[in-house]
Amino acid sequence: MVPALLAAASGLGLGLSLIVAIGAQNAFVLRQGLRAQHVGLVVAVCAFSDVVLIAAGTAGAGALVGARPALLDAVRLAGAAFLAAYAVLAARRAVRPGALEAAGTAPPASAGATAATALALTWLNPHVYLDTVVLLGSVAQSHAGRQWWFAGGAAVASALWFTALGHGAARLRPVFARPAAWRVLDAGVAVVMALLALSLLRAAL
């Protein structure tokens, strides 16, 4: 039982080290948490998506993806286009708050639209595949006979992080009561999304 728990702890630690990095998913979850809009739905979509991807990698999909670079390049290009468009919208909010309604007063998006955005930011982001399917899947295979314990630990890490990020953002709401704070956040999101889009484009070409 102890080796199994060690494998789970290893998955938890590696999962947290990968998911805590600033990225498209985290930026969106934070923003929804700050606006208190569909937070539970966004957390559930992101966490469940990670569970599916981690399970796929543990089952051996990582090797399949690695053997088809053309497929990964196609996903990279789609992800770059989506992230670039998201960066443009965030930049418009930061530079011209009147162009889109101010973040603090804009009507909330529907649950369906919010879920669709969360799904796109997850499934159109090749970094997610590299982290969950390829890297976590490969490391899981090194825990022969206990790979699913490792995968379980990584899945728990994802669920814990997204829950903490989405619901913990409420503590920052007093800071974001000022429109200027939203402009700074959107500027940061725009930069992160643009850099991610460029890195994907470079990797695909």
CA distance 177 to 130: 37
Q: What is the pLDDT of residues 154-178, one digit of tens each?
A: 999 999 999 998 998 888 888 776 7
- Residue 200 is predicted with a pLDDT of 72
- Residue 112 is predicted with a pLDDT of 92
The whole domain housing 193 covers: 2-204
Number of domains in the chain: 1
User: The pTM is what?
Assistant: 0.72
- Residue 13 is predicted with a pLDDT of 84
- Residue 171 is predicted with a pLDDT of 85
Residue 100 in this model has a pLDDT that exceeds 70:
no
Mean pLDDT, the chain, rounded, equals 80
Residue 88 in this model has a pLDDT that exceeds 60:
yes
- Residue 126 is predicted with a pLDDT of 74
130-167 burial, b if ≥16 CB within 10 A, otherwise e?
A: bbbbbbbbebbbebeebbbbbbbbbbbbbbebbbebbe
Mean pLDDT of 116-121: 91
CA angle 58, 67, 136 (to 5 degrees): 25
Mean pLDDT of 102-129: 79
